[in-house]
A and B are shown apart, each in its own frame.
Chain A
Amino acid sequence: MDESPARAAVIEEGLREAGLSDISILVERRGLVARLEGLAPDVVLINLENPGRDMLEESFALSRALARPIAMFVDQSDEHSIAEAVDAGISAYVVDGLRKDRIKPILELAVRRFKAFSRLQTELAEAQSALADRKVVDRAKAVLMKRRGIDEPAAYALLRKQAMDSGRRIAEIAEALVTADALLGGDS
């Protein structure tokens, strides 16, 4: 269960490669408990910050009361692997009595994929922000070139000097300049 379908797909792919075939992905909060009861899974993997977790735990507790064990938290000896999963951002619920040598690789694989996914996300975010930075710096240079009649290297030098003098990033200075220019009625 994951609110991020992309991440869920990455984990699913890994699990399939590891030879597991009966995998279902649940994304929607609503109707989740009913779907889960229908699936009767051996293991439930859910992202730690999923707001559906309290509902999920309630449904596990209830089904146990009805002597229809769906799933419950792992047993004591798995605490270490669960702690690692929690650090990575995953929570797991495992049917009581399921063989440990089957659970461990599933969990470890999910943790690896989950970590890889967040690393990818971070890199993507960094790349996007670098791109955005470059765009705003280009616009700021254009403003300076037009308003002060200077060439591109001079405009960039001005931005860089201002950034160094004020202890801020060039992109921040550029952003401020572009905003000010728009407010002051610049037509660039």
Chain B
Amino acid sequence: MSIFRIGFLPLVDSVLPIVAHEFELAKAEGVSIELVKDPSWATVRDRLIYGQTDAAHLLAPLAIATSLGLDRPAVPLGAPFMLGLNGNAVTVSPRIAALLGEGAVDDVAATGQRLAEVARAEAKAGRKLRFAVVHRYSSHNYMLRYWLAASGCDPDHDVEIVVVPPPFVAEALEVGEIDGSCVGEPWNSVAVERGVGVIVAATARIWSRGVEKLLAFRRQTLDERRDEVAALLRALHAAGKLVADRQRRDEVAKVLAKPAYIDRSAELIARALSNRMVLAQGQAPTAITDFLVLHREAANFPWRSQAMWLYSQMVRWNHAPLDSQGFEAAAAVFRPDIYRAALAGTDAILPTASAKVEGAIEQPLGASSVSGRLILGPDTFFDGRRFDPDRAEEYLAQG
């Protein structure tokens, strides 16, 4: 049986490869999965590029940065399968949460404005707010920056943005090392349970279909093991279906809770899986629509326009140079061709296009597909902007 060693960080959105392994869906496709847990994204990336693993649960922008060689020699990666959309939240210390007021999570635009005011006041008093993101090249960094900037807060001057690995976020909030963070689950919930953090925004409200983790391979692996990769993708698709089944949610949460995976309680893990988050210690759960989308609406399809939006943000914050080749190279990391070839003949929805205007869908919309009925849910940005991949440089020129 062909083996895929898959690197991952303990996060709820590592669920698909774990479920594919634990529920023997990979075995049914004739492949076997070995999971390799690590504490930092740098390590997950290094194991992948130096061949200790065959694939990795990876931040989408980090896969792009690695392929482009942004701060280390380039290693071309390919991502034929997204592991979910959104699933992150902004959690702040109880002191800042009190300044933002009740019901912050309901209105991300108003909360952004309020946060910008607080940030400026704190900076004026010589206490610049410090926010943690999980990596320089992370959706967390770009979503937080997008939100702050659109709310009138300059993320490079009005606040400080630092890097803290997810498992250390609660501790960093507790000792006052940071005032807030943008991190994936269950690490917001861990901070909430300790009473050291309050969830004030979900990234799903900043961009309702935000690009997040992907399954990355060395491009060489994609070329040399095409059939085996296809079998693995079918297993992950089956895992998505299982995870989408409400009846099996508790079972899935229990598996993720094992020490070998997330090593936190199933109750905590189930929150993101059920889109019901406890925002502050002792509160009843609040429903957050599409907090984490793992399977529906062809969520695992690698839209090249999403890679290009990420590249636009990398340019915007001086993480990458502005050139059209960069946009093309970023788009080429996403491999919708492999996704379609692997899932042809299954019940998976296969979109016809490989790119779309991001942020243009306000009401559920039928879209063209090779097979299956594709209905795309609202994918708007909170400030109403749209990203047309054919006019990426124009988009950047507007700020």
Contacts and interface: CB of A to CB of B under 8 A. Distances in A.
Interface in B45-95: 46-47, 50-52, 71-73
Nearest to A77: B73
A6 B163 CA distance: 27
A58 B162 contact: yes
B73 A75 contact: yes
B71 A54 contact: no
A29 interface: yes
B50 A87 contact: yes
A53 B40 contact: yes
A86 B39 contact: no
Nearest to B69: A76
B163 A54 contact: yes
B377 interface: no
A89 to B, nearest CB: 10
Nearest to B167: A51
A54 B42 contact: yes
Nearest to A55: B163
Interface in A43-69: 48-58, 60-61, 64-65
B107 interface: no
Contacts of A83: 50-51
Nearest to B42: A53
Nearest to A59: B163
Interface in A1-47: 29-30
A54 B134 contact: yes
B27 interface: no
B52 A51 contact: no
Nearest to A30: B177
Interface string A92-110: 0000000000000000000
Nearest to B165: A51
Contacts of A52: 40, 165
A87 B136 contact: no
Nearest to B75: A79
B394 interface: no
B36 to A, nearest CB: 11
A117 interface: no
B71 A57 contact: yes
A86 B51 CA distance: 10
Contacts of B253: none
Interface string B206-248: 0000000000000000000000000000000000000000000
Nearest to A93: B72
B304 interface: no
Given A58-B135, A87-B52, A91-B46, A51 B40 contact: yes
A35 B318 CA distance: 25
Residue from B39, B163, B318 with most neighbouring chain A CB atoms (10 Å): B163
Nearest to B136: A58
Nearest to B73: A76
Contacts of A74: 72-73
Contacts of B303: none
Given A57-B71, A58-B136, A58-B163, 19 more contacts: A48-B43, A48-B46, A48-B47, A49-B38, A50-B39, A51-B39, A51-B165, A51-B167, A54-B42, A54-B163, A55-B162, A58-B135, A61-B136, A65-B318, A74-B72, A74-B73, A75-B73, A83-B51, A87-B50
A-B pairs, top 5 by smallest CB distance, nearest first, are A73-B72, A51-B39, A53-B42, A58-B163, A86-B50
Interface of B: 38-43, 46-47, 50-52, 71-73, 134-136, 162-165, 167-168, 177, 318-319
